[in-house]
Amino acid sequence: MTDTATEHGTRTAGLPRQLFRHWVHSREEDRGDVQVYRPADFAFPPSFGRDGIEPGPDGRFVQYDIGPADGTVQVSGRWAEQGPGQIAVRFDGARPDYAFTVVAIDEDVLRIRLGSAPVRHDRVPCADEEQLARFTSAPPASGFRVIDFTDADVVTLESFPPQFLLRVSGTKPYANLDVRLVPLVYIRQPEYWGIEVVGSLPEIGLPSEASYEVTLAVTSFLGTQGIDVIGATRHLHIDIEPTGDDA
């Protein structure tokens, strides 16, 4: 098909024209991981609310989520083609982003398979050079030290889109040492986002070693390749695939 020119640009090349309408989820017809949608004027059986989608030929997208009293809530987003029949939808934080693949479509039915949208690394917030200069010119704290760790791994939580949790464990030199994970500050996204293992003493240290385990949600602190766990004497690079698949 040919592109459709609009004030928002041309987006429809390679996609079937039937896609660009209001589709409502006919969940009674779902099979396995394939979801079935029908046109909004279809004679659906009674149901406690139905979700739906409405892609526009200009790149706009409306998500119809089930709301209070079995009504619908409209959330505006944008779609982009990721490959043949593969669509990624983003909502700028209004709801989780996602992607789907068009399995089959005609005038009467749309079948899709859901997936997760790739992370937009250009949207990861970073400080500018002036902000970073002001931050680094501040005096360092004397009560905090980078300490060593023994083990570190990343757990992918069962959520949509996937969320990532860093777990770090080791032995601390003082029983009352407070250990936490602290992300570094950057002016642009690095390949591996540095996460320091930091210990602080709230009072006089109790001279007794103790084990520790700390966690940090790192979904907002991903480098283009992953993260770098930073201890007193070692670094550990951990590759993270933003989609949650094994790297």
CA–CA gap between residue 197 and residue 21 (Å, rounded): 51
CATH class of 17-118: mainly beta
Strands 144-146 and 192-200: antiparallel
pLDDT band at 94 (very low <50, low <70, confident <90, very high): confident
Backbone angles phi, psi at 46, to 5 degrees: -55, 140
- Start and end residues for every CATH 2.40.128 domain found in the chain: 17-118
Token pair, residue 219, equals: 């979904």
Tell me what pLDDT residue 233 has. Answer: 95
% of the chain with per-residue pLDDT over 90: 49
Higher pLDDT pick, 161 / 172: 172
Q: Is the dihedral of CA 127, 133, 136, 138 positive or negative?
A: negative
Q: Judge whether residue 127 has pLDDT over 80.
A: no
Tell me what pLDDT residue 6 has. Answer: 40
Q: How many helical (H) and strand (E) elements, i.e. helices and strands, does the chain have?
A: 1, 16
For 24, 48, 64, 164, 236, the CA distances from 27, given in Å and listed in that order, are 9, 11, 14, 30, 45
Q: Judge whether residue 123 has pLDDT over 80.
A: no
Tell me what pLDDT residue 37 has. Answer: 98
pLDDT band at 83 (very low <50, low <70, confident <90, very high): confident
For residues 67, 71, 75 and 80, what is the CA-based torsion angle, rounded to 10 degrees? 110
What pTM did the predictor assign?
0.49
What does the pLDDT average to over 169-193?
Answer: 90
pLDDT band at 213 (very low <50, low <70, confident <90, very high): very high
What does the pLDDT average to over 51-67?
Answer: 93
Tell me what pLDDT residue 246 has. Answer: 54
CA–CA gap between residue 224 and residue 25 (Å, rounded): 35
Give rounded-to-5 percent helix, strand, coil for the chain.
10, 45, 50
Tell me what pLDDT residue 5 has. Answer: 41
What does the pLDDT average to over 109-133?
Answer: 70
CA–CA gap between residue 163 and residue 184 (Å, rounded): 19
Return all residues near 202 (Cβ < 8 A) that are at least 6 apart: 176, 178
CB-CB neighbours of 7 under 10 Å: 5
Residue with tokens 């992918």: 156
CA–CA gap between residue 160 and residue 217 (Å, rounded): 15
Token pair, residue 231, equals: 């201890």
- Give the chain's largest Cα–Cα span: 74
Which of the 8 DSSP states describes residue 31? B
Q: Judge whether residue 122 has pLDDT over 90.
A: no
What does the pLDDT average to over 52-72?
Answer: 89
Mean pLDDT of the chain: 84
Cβ–Cβ < 8 Å for 38, 30? no
Tell me what pLDDT residue 228 has. Answer: 97
